Amino acid sequence: MHDTIWLSVLIFLAALLYSSVGHAGASGYIAAMALFGLAPVVMKPTALVLNILVASIATVQFYRAGHFDWKTFWPFAFGSIPFAFLGGALSLPTSIYKQVLGIILLFAAYRLFQFTKQLVKTNFKPVPS
């Protein structure tokens, strides 16, 4: 029960942080589930469902705030939705899946830290609301 609570807290924090910048957070959910040793067969569909849920909530919020543009959305949706399901349908052996997942998450962390260093050097201007 203790692990379930901590996993839920980590997933909630990932959803909160990712959605605050317009992302759905699948890599955060997968990382949290991997830390708790969940099987890939559980991680993939869970991350997909959470990703769809958080992306839907964020989309509604951006739309209500007037920051959603259908002309920009359609090309991304047309390409990303089918390929997300195609990627979800792929089945790799667990050992290969874990290695690929580890490499991708390490690369994402590396890029995040590189981006953060770049942000520190950048002079920001407020976005008009």
**Does some domain include residue 21?**
yes
How many structural domains are present in the chain?
A: 1
Contacts 24+ apart (CB under 8 A), 46-52: 48/84, 48/88, 50/11, 50/15, 50/24, 50/25, 50/26, 51/24, 51/25, 51/26, 52/24
Tokens of 40: 């890939």
**Has residue 114 been placed in a domain?**
yes
Is residue 8 classed as helix, strand or coil in its secondary structure? helix
* In the predicted structure, residue 129 carries a pLDDT above the cut 70: no
Residues 12-68 have pLDDT tens digits of 999 888 877 777 888 889 999 999 999 888 888 899 899 888 888 888 888 899 988
Residue 129 in any domain: the answer is no
Q: Is position 128 within any domain?
A: no
| Full domain range(s) for residue 64 | 2-120
C-alpha distances (whole Å) from 7 to each of 31, 104, 128 are 10, 21, 37
| pLDDT tens string 53-68 | 888 888 888 889 998 8
Q: Is residue 103 domain-resident?
A: yes
pTM, rounded to two decimals: 0.61
3-state secondary structure of 117: helix
